[in-house]
Structure 1
Amino acid sequence: MGLLEGKVALVTGAGQGVGRALAMGLAQAGAAVVVNDIGVSLTGAAENEGAAAAVVAEIEAAGGKALANSDSVAESEGAARLVAAARDTFGRLDLVVNNAGILRDRIFHKMTQEDWTSVIAVHLNGSFNVSSAAAPIFREQGSGSYVHMTSTSGLIGNFGQANYMAAKMGIVGLSRGIAMDMQRFGVRSNCIAPFAWSRMISSIPTETEADKVRVEKLKRMTPEKIAPLVVFLGSDAAKEVSGQIFAVRNNEIFLMSQPRPLRVIHRGEGWTPEGVAEMLPGAIGPSLVPLERSAEVFTWDPV
């Protein structure tokens, strides 16, 4: 008996890469899985309309239960149809995994409105749309779990990804809000920042030797490494875990920090601009967060 025996899971963007690995892992853990994917390229162009059906075929060949769905999560109507299909087919819904996403990488001063809105629409709006559609079912059941895919590009930073970073940090806030608002109904919500070689990171520039080494290390981190944590978070074993941010890097699982006060300066008579300029750099300057990329924070090799 797997941890998810008898449960129903829904995974968006599950036609390939991380999403496919998650769908397969959830099925292996006993869940019936709704595999959602509209079959587009990394940038959102039509590419492989049969992606979801192919994953369903793999799950069924292994003895599992699955349903293919090609609704767009960027549209609230599509998300509603997706969630309805899960309940209509399998009778319930226990886990929503918001994984769908696209990239439109561009240095900020060259980023267009379309670059911005298209990424926000799939990542952030899509996560809201599916989560919102599932919320009444979870509330009625008195149980349910959300797992949202964030990224260290959002949590820490990366070049040319202001749209993606904003979306992924927005997902962190969305997850925390869901966790707080729906805890009274027995509903949990958590985030995972996955380190795994997939389309989402295959666009990393390799202009320097250091970047080439970094990419080669990432290629060794398979998306299947992410599935065990997702299975756990969707199971009853994680009933006390909500509102958290995790990262998975090969065989490592990290609990990531969340913003809390680090330092304080106080002046009883209040502040003037000159007073701030006099005191803040020396008192708080050493604690300012540097403009680092993910690779500059995770400096050791994954084990």
Structure 2
Amino acid sequence: MTNLPEGDARAARNERREAARQRAQRARAQQKRRQRGTRLGLQIGLGVVLLAAVAVVTLVLVDSVKPAGPGPATMSQGGITIGQDLKAVDPSGTPSPSATDGSGAVRITMYVDYLCDTCAQFEEANGDYIASLVDSGAATVDVHPVAVLTNRSQGTKYSLRAANAAACVADRSPDRFWAVNQALFARQPEQGTSGLTDAQLQQLVTGVDGVQDRSAIRDCIEDQTYAKWVDEQTTAVTDGDIPGSSLSEFPGPPLVLVNGKQYELTSPITNDDFRTFVLSAAGTTGATPTPTPSSTRSPSSTPSASATDD
């Protein structure tokens, strides 16, 4: 081995150290670049995830605060008016008789929940009597379906779905609304059960004799077209906005008014008591609601054995 002079050996060692130092610097620089790339990738990935999460939350919030669409044209005030021959009154036409228009007809207003057992009891006792008054032209009846008991059906929201089904009929086959209203009460499930499925509601509603546009009604029930509108109307009513009434607080369903006067339900609910109240309220306008109520439920409220698309 050739011995270098000490100066040359020192220089060689310095060169090797310098070369090693430069290699170490390059290695550290490469490592830092890799780390920066990793951090940048993580930041970009995290940013994408956060943006996606924000987008999802935004969509949920927008959907939850999105105003309800318009209700059926026949329910401009949240309820449908049924007049002579049990046909719907066009809200854009001649105004319905009221306690002050001098027409002499009695105006009955009802706020009902299709899961409310007291509502069903009232309908059972007085539905045919009211129908006889309205059919003859002695009265009109405004029916406001509300969904106060939505949380009493094991999470299925039966109250809301049934009110939506009624609104579907008001939109597509309004002249059969009263018959469907009776059918919904006749098949009322017990509170605390899951209630009727959408398929059963479709079968019940479209099975009522004379219901038209059945296919559209089935789609309306399945899509819950008016569910948000019903929920909005229910909130307004429970907050004290009660059309057809001077009340500032909603007492709960059923709320029954005759010429704007609240009927206080008796226990048990009887037709004699309600008929007396109607005659008393009608006395303020000179109306004479005297048709004799039928002894049995009108067959028009009974679903037919089969239903075909119209």
Larger radius of gyration: 2
Pair in the same fold by TM > 0.5: no
Higher helix proportion, which one? 2
Higher strand proportion, which one? 1
Smaller-chain TM-score bracket: under 0.3
Q: Compare relative contact order (CA 8 Å, sep 6+) and give the higher one, 1 or 2.
A: 2
TM-score of the aligned structures, taking structure 1 as reference length: 0.22
